[in-house]
Amino acid sequence: MRTTHLSPRWSAKCAPESEGQVKGRSLLVAGVSTGIILIAGIFFVALNLVMQQGARPAPGSPAPDFTLKLYPGYRAGLPEEIRLSDLRGNVVVINFWASWCVECHKEAQALENVHRAYMDRGVVVLGIDYLDTEAPALAYLKQYDVTYPNGIDLQQRIAKAYRITGVPETFFIDRDGIVREVVVAPLTEAQLRAKIEALIED
């Protein structure tokens, strides 16, 4: 630390330090530096989190595994609780939706049609119900005569793993469990078919 004196007039008297003062000072140094390190630490941890949060699983990266509890009556022959990794070998279309989401209603029919068309060709359409209560969700499924497997995202775990920013969001996953495409908008049937065909042919 530089101790420049502008002019002698202003220089303050400096008394020799006593032992107690030295001890007090080292305590203070320790306290202050701990504080600084703590604040810096908090900030960096937080920053790291934000950086991670920003990105959903990018195309080309493995799809995060999860278990999904399916709604009774919407299991399509699958067990009550399924794991994504159990579906390996199939092309999986994960669709996040909610009954209160206006845009989701636009694509519900398309998803159901695609499910019926491709269910025998190794394609699983998986509906994940996001932040939804049960009664309106089941009413929604009934309204569109949905038969593809559907379940609730308990405690928003899957939504968090996939870092979705809202609904609808659709993830296309290939036979090896790799995310190939993410669409953050309602899809038409033609778009769905094109994307699925591309993955089947791969």
Q: Which residues lie near another protein (CB under 8 A)?
A: 1-7, 10-15, 17, 21, 25, 28-29, 32-33, 36, 39-40, 42-47, 49-51, 54, 98-100, 131-136, 152, 154-157
CB of 30 to another protein, least distance (A): 11
CB of 29 to another protein, least distance (A): 6
Closer of 99 and 199 to another protein (Cβ): 99
Question: Quick count: other Cβ atoms within 10 Å of Cβ 68?
Answer: 24
Q: Is 167 in contact with 97 (CB distance < 8 Å)?
A: yes
CB of 102 to another protein, least distance (A): 8
Give me 102's structure tokens: 């206006």
Cα 106-112-118 angle, rounded to 5 deg: 135
Closer of 123 and 186 to another protein (Cβ): 186
Helix (H, G, I), strand (E, B) or coil at 165: coil
Give me 101's structure tokens: 């989401």
Closer of 30 and 194 to another protein (Cβ): 30
CB of 171 to another protein, least distance (A): 21
Closer of 63 and 152 to another protein (Cβ): 152
Residue 101: name the closest of 169, 162, 148 by CA.
169
Give me 77's structure tokens: 């022959």
